[in-house]
């Protein structure tokens, strides 16, 4: 009964910026680590950035200095601000949340449906 819904994907020019949002809803007790992953054609899904409940972040080397992950815990929402975009950033971007549905349960990962980001040269 947990859903993660992404928004903000689209087409952007080289060097441009784009902001992705992902809101978790449903039967949620707490949201722990949230992250963004991407998958390009013919490649495995890879971590782009993640953020813990305490605000610690982790980035892929390929996006460090260009992307910023943030979250609004009150809204169960995670954001990915993407700047200085390159054609190599073109991929389907997926949101993931480590979510507890109750205080008695263990956390599990939930995934969004994915949103296309295309960067033109």
Question: How do residues 23-73 score in pLDDT, each as one tens digit?
Answer: 999 999 999 999 999 999 999 999 999 999 999 999 999 999 999 999 998
Other CB atoms within 10 A of residue 66 CB: 15
pLDDT confidence band for 1 (50 / 70 / 90) = confident
Other CB atoms within 10 A of residue 121 CB: 8
pLDDT at residue 73, as a whole number: 87
């Amino acid at each position: 009964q947990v859903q993660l819904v992404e928004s903000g994907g689209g087409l952007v020019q080289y060097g441009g910026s784009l902001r992705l949002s992902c809101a978790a809803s449903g039967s949620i007790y707490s949201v722990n680590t949230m992250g963004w992953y991407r998958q390009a054609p013919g490649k495995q899904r890879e971590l782009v950035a993640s953020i813990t409940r305490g605000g610690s972040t982790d980035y892929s080397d390929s996006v460090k200095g260009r992307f910023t992950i943030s979250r609004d815990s009150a809204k169960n929402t995670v954001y990915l601000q993407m700047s200085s975009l390159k054609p190599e950033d073109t991929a389907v971007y997926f949101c993931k949340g480590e979510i507890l549905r109750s205080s008695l349960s263990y956390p599990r990962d939930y995934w969004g449906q994915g949103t296309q980001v295309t960067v033109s040269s």
